Structure 1
Amino acid sequence: MNWFLDAFKYKYLDFTGRARRTEYWMFMLFHFLIIFVLAFLYAILEDVGMSQIGMFLLVVYVLMSLLPALALTIRRLHDTGRSGWYYLLSFIPYIGGIIIFIFTVMDSEMGQNKWGPNPKSAHTDEINEIGKPLDF
């Protein structure tokens, strides 16, 4: 859940740098779960005649999360060594979304690229820090 909240708190409009696969896919997991729950709520409220409330909540969430999701996808493309302009491929019907999906599933480009250092390097990997003594 922290990956999801970080995209809203700290990286709302951050189109620079790189994003790991974990950061991207954990955000997308919670993003789609929230959309699913809000769509389900809309369907329930539609049966009771209050569909405007459900639709309002869904539209507000989608508009609120549009920029963080776009920024995160562009940072993910940067991590694979591609420009953020590759996101425009998603507008190609049928195949564009598949291409972006493949790019976001790919592993990070090793070392530093023109968008910054690899976020998977040893000094930034939280998993490598588990069990180590704290430096004060």
Structure 2
Amino acid sequence: MNALKFSGRGGRHEYWNFILFLFIASCILVVINSVVFGPAVETEMRISIDSNGQRTEGIVTTQSYNGGILGTGFFVLTLLPSVSAAVRRLHDIDRSGFYLLTPFAGFATFAVIGMIFSQQTAIDRAFLPAGADDVFISMPSSIPAYLLGGAIALGGIIVTLIWLARASQANDNRFGPNPNEASS
């Protein structure tokens, strides 16, 4: 069983069939969770101030259908097998499994940039309508830095998906024999 095997190679067919199984199982779990537990209901209080300074308050209720407890359990149970399948898939094209961290480099860049360049700035109270003293907005001081972090993250995702879709490397490589060739 290859579910928790991080060594060796895994072919394109094996990997994408596993991804298809995960997708179909997740869709089925969303339906089952919705039938058994109903939709997820969220209620929030919204306050808005129009251009005339009129303050309106309202309660907004939204319903959504998601995997809920069943989907979360399925995700937890399949996380390591998913990572091991992706690592073996990267081994099949002669790449280290650490390349799976490529998209996270962009997200980490984005988060660090956000912590460094973002600040909570109070709106000048002279321009606020009466009773709106508690309104704050988040003003990034460096939009290009955010765009750079987002571009790195998106680029990492695209490159990783291209690698996962590539054909197997012919013959043996440093990770083992080609899984698509018949063993003697």
**What's the TM-score once normalised by structure 2's chain length?**
0.55
> Which structure 1 segments of 5+ residues have no match?
1-9, 125-136
In the alignment, which residue of structure 1 is the partner of 2:144?
Answer: none
1:35 aligns with 2:26: yes
In the alignment, which residue of structure 2 is the partner of 1:21?
Answer: 12
- The letter for the 1-side match of 2:74 is Y
The list of structure 1 runs, each at least 4 consecutive aligned residues, that deviate by more than 6 angstroms after superposition, is: none
Task: Choose the corresponding residue for 2:76, options 63, 68, 74.
Answer: 63
User: How far apart, CA to CA, are the structure 1 residues paired with 2:40 and 2:162?
Assistant: 41
Task: Choose the corresponding residue for 2:174, options 110, 114, 119.
Answer: 114
Q: Mean Cα displacement is larger for which, 108-117 or 88-97?
A: 88-97
Equivalent pairs counted in the alignment come to 112
Higher alpha-carbon Rg:
2
Distance of aligned partners of 1:97 and 1:39 in 2 relative to their CA distance in 1, 3 Å threshold: farther
> Which structure 2 segments of 5+ residues have no match?
42-63, 107-152
| Structure (1 or 2) with the greater strand fraction | 2
In the alignment, which residue of structure 1 is the partner of 2:38?
Answer: 46
Following superposition, the deviation at residue 113 of structure 1 comes to 0.6
Distance of aligned partners of 1:116 and 1:56 in 2 relative to their CA distance in 1, 3 Å threshold: same
Distance of aligned partners of 1:56 and 1:112 in 2 relative to their CA distance in 1, 3 Å threshold: same
RMSD of aligned alpha carbons: 2.2
State the percentage of identical aligned residues: 36
